[in-house]
Amino acid sequence: MMEAADQQKICAVINEKFEGEIVESGMIRDFYTIVLKKDKITDIIGYLYHHAETKFQFLTTLCGIHYPDQNQIAVMYQLHNLHTNQRLRLKIFLPQDRPEVNTLTSVFAAANWMERETYDFFGVNFIGHPNLKRILNVEDMIIHPLRKEYPLEDQTREDKNDSMFGR
Amino acid sequence: MIEIQQPKEVIAPDGKQYSYLNLGPTHPATHGIFQNVLKLDGEVIVESTPTIGYIHRAFEKLAERRPFGQITPITDRLNYCSAPINNIGWHMAVEKLMGVDIPKRVQYLRVIIMELARISDHIICNAVIGVDTGALTGFVYLFQQRELVYEIYEEICGTRLTTNIGRIGGFERDFSPKAWEKINRLLKELPEVLKEFEGLLNRNRIFMDRTIGAGGISAERALNYSFTGPNLRAAGIDYDVRVMNPYSSYQDFDFIIPVGKNGDVYDRYMVRQEEMWQSLSIIKQAMDKLPEGSYHADVPEFYLPPKEQVYNNIEALIYHFKIVMGETEIPKGEIYHCVEGANGELGFYVISDGGRTPYRLHFRRPCFIFYQAYPEIVKGSMLSDAILTMSSMNVIAGELDA
């Protein structure tokens, strides 16, 4: 659980150099989350990495989320400050038809495969990534399977009535 | 007349002649399905290109069509050497999403199971390090003890490797007297064997020469690569989720976090070895302090009612039907829950939109994240060290490929 003072401090650090980049911020359950504009995400994370008051120097994880209703793909970054044990989640929203964002590999070496995984499953193009190709799926696959438009089961099946048992 | 063509020698621009070797995907020494294309200068590795995904099973996609209770068997197959930690981690993630209070007894029983799983995972890793350095004896002795751990699982949930242990909210039944007997037997027998094993390897000149300095990584690089678990601690960073973000009442127990210094194979081995002793101590403490009470939380939406009640009580029948068909209501929300898996921070990032299945489920798999440092670690080392490095990092194919 992050104190309100710490939350304000993080926002202040971002606003110091990147005025107007924060779209919204708030606690989601026990996790402080900031939604940012997509253009300067690498610079902001790099700034939070080096700034003496934040020092988010550990990338816990990174993943994509598809919202077909809003035609958006979100990318979620989870950072961790191991000195003060504070965790921070950053989110950006990209347009579904052309998801592009700068790579984080210049800040965290660990972002390499995580971004490749996100590219593989959501088709997010990480600009400047040293080796952006599929990682878990076969290379000649033509879809990005975790997007919601690719249903898991054969939708032509008639022996199951989905109106009774939900999604 | 046909002219026989001799293969042309390929000379690199720097005048050296490199050879390429496919290590894996099914080589016995890789202990799993990993492929590495190694560029070798003599016996020294110049470059390594790993290919992963050979056993990718699309767990994150599968989870989007499965009710919460039915995702547990998927988590079994992540790190299959310590499946109970994954199961219980997932149960705790769902409980966090629903905001359920878990009885103290369940938390302590979970701690016992998770520490047993950690021991069995570390047994595999360290025994295999022994095998890869040519010491098969220790492997055979330690695996006898791992069998005892599996017998305990069997007594509690009926299965051995992919355990599917427990339920959301607790356990399906209390531990039987036979299970306690087997845990006590392990607590009595394992320390002796572990001591013997340590006597065999810890100060063994051949083992030390072979492992010290091999496959090392600095603390800075390890952090930048988001290492967690024993691999990070071997590099000298004392990050442990059990202490940083205590879950399941870990704050009630006294234990130390062993740390190494050089992050090499020997340090990883020593850290894991010490963690086994700590796990044994935690199990003993949990058994001594084990509170009375229920072995499951009061969550009728997830806890299958006893069979007699299903046949005689309409409410129980409804719940039984709902649980089996996966028609439980889950609140909307977005959570991240992490546990200290045997290999590091195992995280579950769940987004629920109120439907019967998660809207999105992302596993933070420690193996997937630290295995990408492998090319950097093995660069410039000998081929035989590369094999040792892989087994000491304890890369588990199931967790790597999800």
Q: What is the ipTM of this complex?
A: 0.90
Confidence of residue B13 (pLDDT cuts 50, 70, 90): confident
- Chain B residues whose CB is inside 8 A of the A65 CB are 351, 359-360
Which DSSP string corresponds to B61-98?
Answer: HHHTTS-GGGGHHHHHTSSGGGHHHHHHHHHHHHHHHH
Residue A110 belongs to a domain: yes
Residue B26's pLDDT is what? 83
Residue B265's pLDDT is what? 92
Cβ atoms of B43 and B382 within 8 Å: the answer is: yes
pTM of the model: 0.92
Residue A106 belongs to a domain: yes
Count of domains forming chain A: 1
Q: Which two tokens stand for residue B42?
A: 């003599």
Would you give the end-to-end CA distance of chain A in angstroms?
Answer: 33
- Asked if pLDDT for residue B12 goes beyond 80, the answer is no
Q: Which domain holds residue A96?
A: 4-127
- Asked if pLDDT for residue B9 goes beyond 80, the answer is no
Fill in the amino acid letter for B119: I
Asked if A58 and B226 come within 8 Å (Cβ–Cβ), the reply is: yes
Portion of chain B with pLDDT greater than 70, in percent: 97
Lowest-confidence range among B85-89, B134-138, B271-275, B343-347? B134-138
**CA neighbor of B116 nearest in space, from B141, B93, B87:** B87
Confidence of residue B175 (pLDDT cuts 50, 70, 90): very high
Confidence of residue B304 (pLDDT cuts 50, 70, 90): confident
Q: What is the CATH number of the domain that holds A49?
A: 3.30.460.80
Task: Region of A166 please: left (phi>0), alpha (psi -120 to 50) or beta.
Answer: left
pLDDT digits (tens, 9 = 90+) for B378-394: 998 998 899 899 999 99
Nearest by CB to B223, from A58, A153, A165: name it. A58
Residue A140 belongs to a domain: no
- Chain B residues whose CB is inside 8 A of the A75 CB are none
- Chain A residues whose CB is inside 8 A of the B352 CB are none
pLDDT digits (tens, 9 = 90+) for A34-81: 999 988 899 999 999 999 888 899 999 999 999 999 999 999 999 999
Asked if A58 and B349 come within 8 Å (Cβ–Cβ), the reply is: no
Average pLDDT over residues A99-113: 93
- Chain B residues whose CB is inside 8 A of the A110 CB are 224-226, 369, 372
Average pLDDT over residues B331-338: 92
pLDDT digits (tens, 9 = 90+) for A135-149: 999 888 889 999 988
Residue A146 belongs to a domain: no
Q: Which two tokens stand for residue B321?
A: 């039907």
Average pLDDT over residues B111-130: 93
Average pLDDT over residues A84-99: 92
Residue A160 belongs to a domain: no
Those residues with Cβ within 8 angstroms of residue B70's Cβ, 6 or more apart along the chain or in another chain: B326
Confidence of residue B119 (pLDDT cuts 50, 70, 90): very high
Residue A151 belongs to a domain: no
Asked if A110 and B52 come within 8 Å (Cβ–Cβ), the reply is: no
Mean pLDDT in chain B? 90
Q: Which two tokens stand for residue B212?
A: 């010290």
Confidence of residue A167 (pLDDT cuts 50, 70, 90): very low
- Asked if pLDDT for residue B194 goes beyond 80, the answer is yes
Q: Which two tokens stand for residue B343?
A: 């290999």
Which DSSP string corresponds to A18-52?
Answer: STT-EEEEEEETTEEEEEE-STTHHHHHHHHHH-T
Lowest-confidence range among A46-55, A101-110, B17-26, B264-273? B17-26
CA dihedral B106, B112, B113, B119 (to 10 degrees): 160
CB pairs < 8 Å spanning A and B: 96
Average pLDDT over residues B93-120: 93
Instruction: Please report the domains of chain B, with CATH numbers, ordered by start residue.
Output: 59-401 (1.10.645.10)
CA distances to B25, B117, B280, B334 from B160, in Å: 26, 11, 20, 32
Residue A153's pLDDT is what? 66
Residue A142 belongs to a domain: no
Residue A162's pLDDT is what? 60
- Asked if pLDDT for residue A166 goes beyond 60, the answer is no
Which own/partner contact pairs does B38-41 have at CB distance under 8 Å and 24+ positions apart?
B38/B383, B38/B386, B40/B383, B41/B16
**Helix H or strand E encompassing B39:** strand B35-41
**Among chain A residues, CA nearest to B370:** A110
